[in-house]
Chain A
Amino acid sequence: MELTGADILVQFLQDEGVEFVFGYPGGAVLHIYDALYQRGGVEHVLVRHEQAATHAADGYARATGKPGVALVTSGPGATNAVTGIATAHMDSIPMVVITGQVATPLIGNDAFQEVDIVGISRPCVKHNFLVKDVKDLAVTLKKAFYIANSGRPGPVVVDIPKDVTAAKAHYEYPQSVAIRSYNPVSKPHSGQVRKAVNMLLRARRPMIYTGGGVVLGNASEELTQMVRQLGFPITNTLMGLGAYPASDPQFLGMLGMHGTMEANMAMHECDVLMAIGARFDDRVTGELDKFSPSAKIIHVDVDPASIAKNVPVDVPIVGEVGEVLKQCMTELDQADRKVDPEALSAWWSQIDDWRSQQCLAYEASDEFIKPQMVLETLHRLTNGDACVTTDVGQHQMWAAQYYGFDKPRRWLTSGGLGTMGFGLPAAMGAQFANRDSTVACVTGEASIQMCIQELSTCLQYDLPIKVINLNNRYLGMVRQWQEFQYKSRYSHSYMDALPDFVALAEAYGHVGMRIDNPADVEGALKEALAMKDRLVFMDFITDQNENVYPMVEAGRGHHEMRYSPYQSFRNQELA
């Protein structure tokens, strides 16, 4: 069948099973928008800024595991999308971003709305393509989806010049593609798996540390099964939360810069560390010279380049996480050796001792709303089952610490890039993916303003997101670092002239609520959560001086945490 490039694109998206395209029209993509109008079959979501198109596609991908799709025009449309592309790249989120381009004869001519998006996006994509011939379009799109969603996932940009969308070619949906230069490893080396299992069974102070790779690899079940079978303690990175149930006693909470005492101390003291789908990020390891000094390290990752990048590894295993875990369990079943129960129980009693110190305890207040309390209440009222997105800063860390996730794909946060403005559009993507679930966007008064225009999109598509704005009138995390490291010189971290968020929400056609009394927190949340068909913007006026604790500051190891002044007795050693 002969179709125009624009029709091929729209038909391909249908054939590929794409449900939603998050986009914004413009000159270079007008043929494509006309095909969307005439051909249909794919729901297009009109955002209010291209950054939000990419974040929404990303949020959809995180919530479902399917690649998110964004469609933007050339020039500024494409450059606006870059932040969202980089966000997805850092967190390995499968996404296909289609950018319009000026017509091929104009490329390189400084034409109107021309930008070299293939060049601009190159360092922050898994791969990108410029389609110069309509005959290559369908196969290129298939390659893009295949690359985005296989191996270590990531965003792929497909740049399509306007004349290519008008030209005609024969179309047949390519069922599969082979790329000779791209063959991600899936099955692990069985010898390495055996070595790892042997090492685990000989451990006296074992520790399991898992990251976003377990969520991306849909391997939560396997992980949970193996960790329970072993009886070992486990911690998750920020990206890995939800991969292991937070309510399980073997779970020690998050590790790293704002990790719990028990997780960080266990990382420091362990003798065998198994890292699964995690990449030893600097926010996780603290000072590398002080990282897990006595541990032998097993590292499982689908991306060989992640292994031994920051920390030397004793047993590297390249393969899909789920596949590796299954093989580990088979090896465990067949092994003669068992874990030394006495050593393990001594290790657990040490861990329980750390845990009993309750490092996340905070001073309650009748006067000020404590942000931690808002999140604990949200957790209780949603039975820990809401889909939570965040922006970046203190609220993000508190959400990670106080909203325990029992299931994967319920926690959507920009971990690697740390993109303020991610929360609201990501919540849109998550709400499209889970029409009947509660989707909460936990944010702050600074972050929310970076993509607040999307309140308009939420109205258009009836997205009943609950915006939990923890409003402390500060760029909270910046203020915290300035307090600790710059003698409280609060340089430009104060948000003066804030809008009236209630009025703003109402102006956008939503429900606004302002809560400034701790006694009203629970009632307000209940009321908001009961409004199943409305977006509710809840502006919580919180304690301005609250900080995120514990904290591993720059140059420190996991065992050198700073605790809340409420628990100041433990900070003495640090001085």
Chain B
Amino acid sequence: MRRIISLLLENEPGALSRVAGLFSARGFNIESLTVAATDDETVSRMTIVTHGDGGILEQIVKQLNKLVDVIKLMEVSDGEHLDRELMLVKVRATSASSRDEMDRLVRTFGARIVEITRQGLIVEVTGNDEKLKAFLDVVESGSVIEVVRSGPSAISRGGKALKL
């Protein structure tokens, strides 16, 4: 089962490697990991997407909690939540018709074209995993030059919050 864990940790050198090292040392699966400082510069927020059953997830959560640099954590996927990921796709589109088609597609997906050159264009898509995959599915595979995904950021819906 796909799980999303959000954690707050000390914004210190080495904190990221402690988390990443824990996953590799204990053989836990890691699908994506994103991290950046929060509004409080001493604190980083990390979003980890992993797979595992209840027992494995319990161990992941406990082992993460045990790291001295981890201040607080929460399994966001445990309740109602939003997860959003940014994807940039560079597409080959040299003819007017192919650009028009991309433009229609982009509008349907609520995406944006952020650059147009003679060779093609760059599309920015935001959404969850499903939406990003669906977008890539409909773009003609031969025309995709490059894809970059940020990995999801997630937040709980409603009043629940992960904060200090």
Contacts and interface: CB of A to CB of B under 8 A. Distances in A.
Interface size class of A (residues with CB under 8 A): 10 to 19
Interface stretch (A115-123, A407-415, A453-461): A115-123
Nearest to A128: B14
Contact of A130 (B14, B63, B65): B14
Contacts of B21: 122-123
Nearest to A305: B62
A123 B70 CA distance: 15
Given A122-B17, A123-B25, A130-B14, A179 B68 contact: yes
A308 B58 contact: yes
A435 interface: no
A119 B68 contact: no
A182 B62 CA distance: 13
B85 interface: no
Interface string B55-68: 10011001101101
Nearest to B14: A118
Contacts of B10: 181
Contacts of B71: 180-181
Interface in A267-314: 303-305, 307-309
Contacts of B9: 181
A273 to B, nearest CB: 19
Contacts of A309: 59
B68 A305 contact: no
Given A181-B9, A181-B71, A304 B17 contact: no
Contacts of B55: 308
B18 interface: yes
A307 B65 CA distance: 14
Contacts of B25: 123
A321 interface: no
B62 A127 contact: no
A126 interface: yes
Nearest to A183: B71
B162 to A, nearest CB: 14
Nearest to A303: B66
A181 B70 contact: yes
B124 interface: no
Contacts of A307: 62
Nearest to A184: B66
A147 interface: yes
B17 A119 contact: yes
Contacts of B63: 305
A180 B9 CA distance: 10
B83 interface: no
Interface in B128-164: 164
Interface in A175-203: 179-182
B59 A305 contact: yes
A127 B68 contact: yes
A380 to B, nearest CB: 44
B38 to A, nearest CB: 14
A118 B16 CA distance: 13
Given A305-B59, A309-B59, A181 B68 contact: yes
A307 B63 CA distance: 11
A15 B62 CA distance: 35
B58 A126 contact: no
B75 interface: no
Interface string B1-17: 00000000110011001
Interface in B76-133: none
B18 A122 contact: yes
Interface in B9-61: 9-10, 13-14, 17-18, 21, 25, 55, 58-59
Contact of B68 (A126, A303, A308): A126
Nearest to B55: A308
Contacts of A181: 9-10, 68-72
Contacts of A147: 68
Interface in A149-170: none
A263 B68 CA distance: 37
Contacts of A127: 68
Nearest to B8: A181
A123 B10 CA distance: 18
Interface in A20-56: none
Interface in A358-411: none
Contacts of B68: 126-127, 147, 179, 181-182
Nearest to A147: B68
B65 A304 contact: yes
Contacts of B66: 303-305
Contacts of B164: 180
B123 to A, nearest CB: 39
A135 to B, nearest CB: 16
Contacts of B14: 118, 122, 130
Nearest to B58: A308
Interface string A129-144: 0100000000000000
Contacts of B69: 181
Contacts of A130: 13-14
A158 to B, nearest CB: 13
A305 B59 CA distance: 6
29 contacts: A118-B14, A119-B17, A122-B14, A122-B17, A122-B18, A122-B21, A123-B21, A123-B25, A126-B68, A130-B13, A130-B14, A147-B68, A179-B68, A180-B71, A180-B164, A181-B9, A181-B10, A181-B68, A181-B69, A181-B70, A181-B72, A182-B68, A303-B66, A304-B62, A305-B62, A305-B63, A305-B65, A307-B62, A309-B59
Interface of A: 118-119, 122-123, 126-127, 130, 147, 179-182, 303-305, 307-309
The 10 closest A-B pairs by CB, nearest first: A305-B62, A181-B71, A127-B68, A123-B25, A182-B68, A305-B66, A304-B62, A305-B63, A122-B21, A181-B10
Given A118-B14, A180-B164, A304-B65, 17 more contacts: A122-B17, A123-B21, A130-B13, A147-B68, A181-B9, A181-B10, A181-B68, A181-B70, A181-B71, A303-B66, A304-B66, A305-B59, A305-B62, A305-B65, A308-B55, A308-B58, A309-B59
